[in-house]
Chains A and B, each alone.
Chain A
Amino acid sequence: MAELATTWLGLELTSPFVIGASPLADDLDGLRALVDAGAGAVVLHSVFEEQILAEQLAVHHFVDSRIDTDAEARSFLPESATFPVGADPTLAHLERVRAAVDLPVVASLNGVTPGGWTDIATRMEAAGADAIELNLYDLVTGFDETAADIEDRQHDVVSAVVAAVDLPVTVKLSPFYTALPAFVRRLEQAGAAGVAVFNRFYQPDVDPDTLDVDRHLHLSTPAELPLRLHALALLHGRVGLSLAATGGVHSGRDAAKAVLCGATAVQVVSALLVGGAPQLTRMRADLVEWLDEMGYRSVDEARGAMALDNVADPHAWERVNYTRLIQGWRPRSTGT
């Protein structure tokens, strides 16, 4: 039977399946079941910079501004010295997870600005994180910042976090970089230990009935995987970083594709939110079966076999492939 154990971000993993940043790790019993089902590592729910700031400001506005406003009521909620607003609950949870399970635990940090984030990264390290996943999440809506400005800022965030902790730092990227390889190289130079492609950032829908913006998040589908495969194939072997696939891995075969394109770790969320631990058991078994069928002795052996540098026709990963597909595509309905 093929060996699934591997090394990601310098961490020993019993399998390449990593529980992605999500509520999956919020429940310790649920997490234990996933570990038993063969998870190799777990990424905890992200600490969101904007969310924490928004909550701090909201509490300041709706709790603090109600203090000393009325002759009868000194305040309207208990004196809140004991109720910090910030990352504390996440950090406390990290400590509990660390104590509860015996596998690498990755803390996730989701922010856009340098500064206070190094503080939280340090506290994550102290709380027992084995690595930090830095989710570079930037929803650019203004006209006054160029792509270069944003990449510079993100580079600075990564540098600052890398400098602040003695842990490996992996960076979760969005798919929309004009020059992904160059930027990944900059991250490598900044000291990152890995990148994960790609985050599934906020994609609001619109509700045509209410004329509202629909803020619901939807689960991923396997259709999202090829975008990741493409990026992995471009990066594998060309940067010295641990690569992880995230988004669209729903089956053992999906995992196999990601590994073939260069992923050391495949992060899974949506499939497990639906199928739970039994789904992970199936995915793991399917991956082993595929490796065995293909004659790979280990997952490491299969890694990168389909990457740009290794594939027989590298142009297939490049632009020409894209144009061919476009030209080959025909509308399913020609309309009337």
Chain B
Amino acid sequence: MTDVLTAGTVATIDANEAVASVAYRLSEVIAIYPITPASPMAEHADEWAVTDRPNLWGSVPDVIEMQSEGGAAGAVHGALQAGALTTTFTASQGLLLMIPNLFKIAGELNAFCLHVAARSVATHALSIFGDHSDVMAARGTGFAMLASGSPQEASDLAAVAHAATLRSRVPFLHFFDGFRTSHEIQKISTLDDAVLAALVDDADIAAHRARSLSPDRPVVRGTAQNPDTFFQAREAANPFHDACPAVVEATMERFAELTGRHYRLFDYVGHAEAERVIVMMGSGAECAHEAVEHLAAQGERVGLVKVRLYRPFSMERLVDALPPTVRSVAVLDRTKEPGSTGDPLLLDVTAALVDALGRGTLAALPRIVGGRYGLSSKEFSPPMVKAVLDELTGDVPRSRFTVGITDDVTHLSLPLDDDFTTEPDSVHRAVFFGLGSDGTVSSNKASIKIIGEHTPQSCQGYFVYDSKKSGAVTVSHLRFGPEPIRSTYEIRSAGFVAVHDPGLLDRLDVLERAAPGATVLLNLAAAPDEVWDRLPRRVQETLVAKGCRLFAIDADAVADRYGLGRRINTIMQTCFFALTAVLPVDVAIDEIKASVVSTWGRRGPEIVRRNVEAIDAALAELHEITVPAAASAPPSTRLTVPDDAPDFVQRVTRLMLDGHGDRLPVSAFPPDGTWPTGTSRFEKRAIASEIPIWEPDLCVQCNRCSMICPHTAIITKVFEPEHQDGAPASFRSQPETYTHELEGLAYTVQVAPDDCTGCGLCVEVCPAKDRTRPKRKAINLQPADEHRDRERTAFEFLRQIPDVPRTRIPRGSRTLALLPATFEFSGACAGCGETPYIRALTQLFGDHLVIANATGCSSIYGANLPTTPYTTGADGRGPAWSNSLFEDNAEFGFGLRLGLDATARRARSLLDDLAPHLPAALVAELGEPCGHDDEQLTRRRQVVAELRDHCSRMTEPGAVALADLADAFTNRSVWAIGGDGWAYDIGYGGLDHVLASNRDVNVLVLDTEVYSNTGGQQSKATPLGAVAKFASAGKETRKKDLGLLAMSYGHVYVASVAMQARNRHTLQALLEAESYPGPSLVIAHSPCIAHGYDLVHAPAQQARAIASGAWPLYRYDPRRVAAGEPPLVVDADPVSLPMREYMEQEARFRMVEMRDPDRFTTLVRAAEHAVRDRHALYEQLAQIRLPEQEAHDG
């Protein structure tokens, strides 16, 4: 990592790191909560604190992770009131959760700087990407708001913000665009300590401390004021806000003296006598800067005002910044306020100019129009800037417009000239397509740093990830050139295109971005003379048409030779430098090796040695391939989605899968965020290099393979034998022999070959071995290339075989896997330990399941487009799913329950009203509870159908309404699902409240013991001894016992389960939880990549977790009290494995041992104590007999 903390003047880093460096050095307390895309700022701060790096005053800041952003803001407020220099980092919903405190912090004039990687606020959907909807929601708080548009600006203005808040006492919200700036790597001038020290005034700090709460000079803050005083007191702070712009200006001037970099409150670029001017802020202004300069150089009278200080908004300085020649102004907002007269910046600019006109400081009011762009990191590129400026040339420009999309509904969007480019030829542009796991992004980050630090060139790296957690595609955009790079948009015309994964040649139009004559580098497992024939026709045609030079290397073979697995990144990196000659090849290779040493040297010499050998071997394997005069491959027959896919999938999903979602017009979308289920089946990613193949002769029909599959890519099914008539040869089955209730049916195990990730869990758990050759199991991984076509045919055949009635399949731990799942082919990580629980829920209750899903991994693999894994059974029923927020999920699920109950009450009321007109037996039956098993549910659906039938023939008032609501007479199984971050931390208050109610809400906590989705930050579920971000030395406190807290209510069903090792127990708990008429909590042990081991061993490791006592198994069922039994049953055997033997298997624990063996031993002992204590408590609780009435007191 580049050391920007110590006086380096040039570094190639992203804005998150640059800003964190400034904030860290200028702070004493850093209270944070992880949220994309701001998490890296907090993580950098944590890493620096762990390694005892000092701040500007020689002390190490206290970096504290809180339970939510609301908690972080509260801690910040307190720290400020105690006189500490304090900062935090956040985005999006996190910022929204801070808002109550922001009002307080500003109202009390606390000097404080908050850094925001600006991100979309969730509306019709969640988005992790960048726009200004979050910061605009905070513009009423009284915070000053300072906007940066690039990593350099973010670094500089972060320092300005910290200095200005101390001087002005107005707290600052410094923001920059999430991902586009926060994650963009640029070569920047960093701020050394001397600059920061010169910028920040010690007297201001002393004044800040003097205002702190102290019993030595006590005051009271936070009084309650009444109508007589509140208003005046609120106005009393006006002078501070009024003075703030001048303070910022002065600070910017001082900054310029120190660094030579000049900023103003509003910076103008463009023609000195511009007539058409854009006003905007953030990273889009960089792109606009590039385009405006380009146009102005051609004589166009156009300009750009970049807003730096958005609050307090200096009306005077805005007018100063505008050239007097301006005739029309387009104000661009990266946010949307439906129903407003205009988006926020437009309103501010309009008000400022109208005010200036009124005061006479502006001679004439220009035409002011407002446009919206770039929501959720939508590309904002020079053609869009030109489109805006072109619009201003018209006599009657649209007063409100959008740019960057096609709006065919309200027709707000501007037309684009896609051929307009502004990038100079001197800029080298390279695009790399890779897989997340092959290290492409990491090596490109290393490359851009090598170029940045070893050439005088400017450079930029931007990285795009897809939405999957397994087999994810990454696209890296690298630019370097002699001039500053302001191109804050993806590369559209690259002189170098590398495709690191050959599978992408077929899936994506990888050469779309190749410039004419581009150098194309492919990683392909083929001899040089076979490369051309292996290319899809589309690729061949583009290579020919664009006159590309083609190079190929079998990088996987090289990586394999040196024991690097699929890590081909350093090999491809070497080829990149060899082909682009940005540096002399030998210098570049030395630098790649140096970066290998600095990045992985700590792992040990072997990793370095193997990489170095692979680097040295790379160029000998790199071959130029002659591009023939014409394409020779047959036309591709591959369809993105099959012809028989539903209309929506054909119209919308297909384009998204092809990477062309940007082309979809507004009319393609449901206006309220509703999306069809069951579309993951159309996304045939085929990412596994090996897939499991069934060997019927060995199979014992245990179904473990399908039960453990994280992606529902192994299907075990029973069916009527006659349905295999006409089966393709590849489809195999055998008589079902294990379950006597299923006698006479046929049984099969089938892989979904395009949906399998090749994780190997199915093979790992298969108990059936060939007695003569035990390495052959009943299911074995085989090369996908050899088997995929056959298995596709077999799988397609399986999909059309009718299910046997659900009621025929017993609910045993083996037969659970024979129930059709309505959750399939999610984008979860290979080996995910969460998804099998969700699939089991859908197998048990899928046709009457309503899911409230907390934000996190399960909401991302559950509904991150382009496709959705929740699907329907043959009867069209399936889970109804919704994600509200992260923090409110228990309440959201509770609300779903309330709403469903209200509907049911209304239905019953109508039934009562109409009872005289309906058969008495029908009314009586509907008056009874529906029951929980399939037979009862099936029967109830029949009765409901009868009711509808009666209603349809009735003329009484209410009959139509009763028919509409009749489904409410069937069970609705409501489940709130989420991770431990939600249940233990941010959502605990709500979860606690929902459990305390006595409503029938079921809660499934997928406990990975860490914040998985945002990258491994500790939660209160993190066990003692585990390393996590913000617990780098190993967590010292015990895991919160969520189950025990829930048990304390007495009326809550609680279970702790571990499905991979104890499937039967999990099934029992889920069934009991669902049937329990009150609140239920099931806490599910979920192996996760954040634990740091090969998840193929997760079943064994989960068994160790149970055997060591690290993971308890129990069921607390209040119903048992009525039977005179203790409500708690402990289901795990006594502890039989030393804790150390469990802990040393996972990197999260082992890291402590590597760093500090004594601490590890201490933590192991403490963990053993914790387990013993808990076990003893549970054992005693399991003996307790409660008075019977308590079960009913609830």
Contact = CB atoms under 8 A, between A and B. Distances in A.
Interface of A: 27, 52-53, 56-86, 88-89, 92-93, 96, 116, 119, 211-212
B769 interface: yes
A76 B46 contact: no
Contact of B602 (A58, A69, A81): A81
B439 interface: yes
A74 B40 contact: yes
B892 interface: no
B40 A56 contact: no
Q: Which 5 A-B pairs have the closest CB atoms?
A: A73-B1015, A69-B436, A68-B441, A211-B774, A71-B465
B469 A61 contact: no
A72 B1016 CA distance: 11
A67 B50 CA distance: 20
Given A60-B603, A85-B603, A92 B51 contact: no
B445 A68 contact: yes
Given A52-B604, A60-B600, A78 B1029 contact: yes
B1147 interface: yes
B1012 interface: yes
B1015 A72 contact: yes
B3 to A, nearest CB: 11
A84 B47 contact: no
B351 to A, nearest CB: 37
Interface string B1131-1165: 00000000000000001100101111110010000
A147 to B, nearest CB: 26
B1028 interface: yes
B563 A76 contact: no
Contacts of B422: none
Contact of A85 (B1016, B1094, B1154): B1154
**Most chain A CB neighbours (cut-off 10 Å) among B46, B1147, B1158:** B1147
A84 B607 contact: no
Contacts of A74: 39-40, 43, 1015
B1 A69 contact: no
A92 B472 contact: no
A67 B442 contact: yes
A88 B1029 contact: no
A52 B1092 CA distance: 16
B474 A69 contact: yes
Given A61-B565, A80-B1151, A81-B51, A70 B472 contact: yes
B1090 interface: yes
Contacts, number: 156
A77 B442 contact: no
B1089 interface: yes
B813 interface: no
26 contacts: A52-B606, A60-B600, A60-B607, A64-B603, A68-B436, A70-B436, A70-B465, A72-B36, A72-B39, A72-B1014, A72-B1015, A74-B39, A76-B1090, A77-B1016, A78-B1028, A78-B1032, A80-B1151, A81-B1, A81-B51, A82-B51, A82-B1155, A83-B602, A83-B1027, A83-B1154, A84-B604, A119-B605
B47 A62 contact: no
B128 interface: yes
A53 B1153 CA distance: 17
Nearest to A75: B1015
B1089 A66 contact: yes
Given A71-B465, A73-B1014, A77-B1148, A62 B567 contact: no
Given A68-B445, A89-B1153, A77 B1092 contact: yes
Interface residues of B, number: 63
Contacts of A76: 1012, 1015-1016, 1089-1090, 1092
Interface centre among A62, A72, A119 (most CB of B within 10 A): A72
B889 to A, nearest CB: 18
B437 A65 contact: yes
B771 interface: yes
Interface in B1003-1039: 1012-1016, 1027-1029, 1032
A61 B1016 CA distance: 17
B61 to A, nearest CB: 17
A75 B1016 contact: yes
B442 A78 contact: no
B823 interface: no
B33 interface: no
Contact of B1093 (A62, A79, A83, A86): A62
Contacts of A70: 436, 465, 469, 472, 1015
Contacts of A119: 605
Contact of A77 (B39, B566, B1151): B1151
Given A67-B442, A69-B441, A76-B1012, 6 more contacts: A70-B465, A70-B472, A71-B465, A75-B1015, A78-B47, A81-B602
Contacts of B176: none
Contacts of B988: none
A56 B1147 contact: no
Interface string B707-724: 000000000000000000
B1150 to A, nearest CB: 8
Nearest to B437: A65
A64 B565 contact: no
Contacts of A57: 563, 606-607
Interface in B306-336: none
B1 to A, nearest CB: 7
B255 interface: no
B179 interface: yes
B682 interface: no
B1154 A88 contact: yes
Contacts of A53: 604, 606
Contacts of A211: 769, 771, 774
B1117 to A, nearest CB: 35
A231 to B, nearest CB: 34
B939 to A, nearest CB: 45
A83 B1155 contact: yes
A64 B600 contact: yes
B759 to A, nearest CB: 13
B463 interface: yes
Nearest to B566: A65
B1027 A77 contact: yes
A9 B606 CA distance: 32
Contacts of B1012: 73, 76
Contacts of A69: 436-437, 441, 465, 472, 474
Contacts of A89: 1153-1155, 1157
Contacts of A66: 1089
Interface in B10-66: 36-37, 39-40, 43, 46-47, 50-51
Contacts of A88: 1154
Contacts of A83: 602, 1027, 1151, 1154-1155
A77 B567 CA distance: 19
Contacts of B1151: 77-78, 80, 83
A71 B128 contact: yes
B1092 A78 contact: no
A206 to B, nearest CB: 10
A89 B441 CA distance: 32
Contacts of B860: 72
A58 B1016 CA distance: 18
A69 B1089 CA distance: 12
Contacts of B606: 52-53, 56-57, 116
Given A60-B567, A72-B128, A79 B47 contact: yes
Contact of A59 (B50, B1089, B1147): B1147
A80 B602 contact: yes
B780 to A, nearest CB: 15
A251 B980 CA distance: 54
B1153 to A, nearest CB: 6
B604 A56 contact: yes
A52 B1150 CA distance: 13
**Among B467, B774, B1154, which residue has the most Cβ atoms of chain A within 10 A?**
B1154
